[in-house]
Amino acid sequence: MKLFNKFTAIVLASALVISAGATLTSAASSLSGKITVNGSSALLPMTLQAAKEFKKKNPRVRIAASGSGSITGPQSVKKGIADIGAVDWDASTSVPGFPAFSGQVATPVAVIPFAAIVNKNVSVDNLTSDQLKGIYTGKIKNWKEVGGADAAIVVVTRSFGSGTRVNFELKALGGTRIDEKASGSIAASNSGTMATTVGSKPNSIGYVDLPYIKGDIKALKFEGVEATTANIVNGKYKIWGTGYYMTAGQPTGATKAFIDYVTSKEFQQGSLKKLKFIPLASIKK
* Contact present, 65 and 37 (Cβ < 8 Å): yes
Q: CB atoms < 10 A from the CB of 279, how many?
A: 17
Give the residue, chosen from 21, 103, 147, 202, that forms a contact with another protein under the rule CB under 8 A.
202
Give the residue, chosen from 23, 27, 150, 181, that forms a contact with another protein under the rule CB under 8 A.
181
> Which CA distances in Å does 166 have to 37, 42, 45, 74, 170?
21, 13, 20, 15, 6
Does residue 151 touch another protein according to CB under 8 A? yes
**Interacting span for another protein (CB under 8 A) from 26-34, 53-61, 167-175, 196-204:** 196-204
**Interacting span for another protein (CB under 8 A) from 26-34, 63-71, 87-95, 262-270:** 63-71
> Which three-class secondary structure state does DSSP give residue 29?
coil
Size of the site for another protein (CB under 8 A): 32
Strands 221-222 and 33-39, sheet pairing:
unpaired
Q: Residues, the chain, total?
A: 285
Nearer to another protein, 41 or 247 (CB): 41
**Interacting span for another protein (CB under 8 A) from 14-22, 102-110, 177-185, 205-213:** 177-185
Distance of alpha carbon 221 from alpha carbon 213, whole angstroms: 13
**Interacting span for another protein (CB under 8 A) from 26-34, 103-111, 190-198, 229-237:** 190-198
Nearer to another protein, 73 or 262 (CB): 73
Does residue 152 touch another protein according to CB under 8 A? yes
Closest CA to 177 of 187, 169, 185: 169
SS3 readout for 174-217: CCCCCCHHHHCCEEECCHHHHHHHHHHCCCEEEEEEHHHCCCCE
Strands 186-188 and 154-158, sheet pairing:
parallel
Does residue 92 touch another protein according to CB under 8 A? no
Does residue 123 touch another protein according to CB under 8 A? no
Interface residues with another protein (CB under 8 A)?
2, 68-72, 75, 79, 97, 151-152, 154, 159-162, 177, 180-181, 184-189, 193, 196-197, 200-203
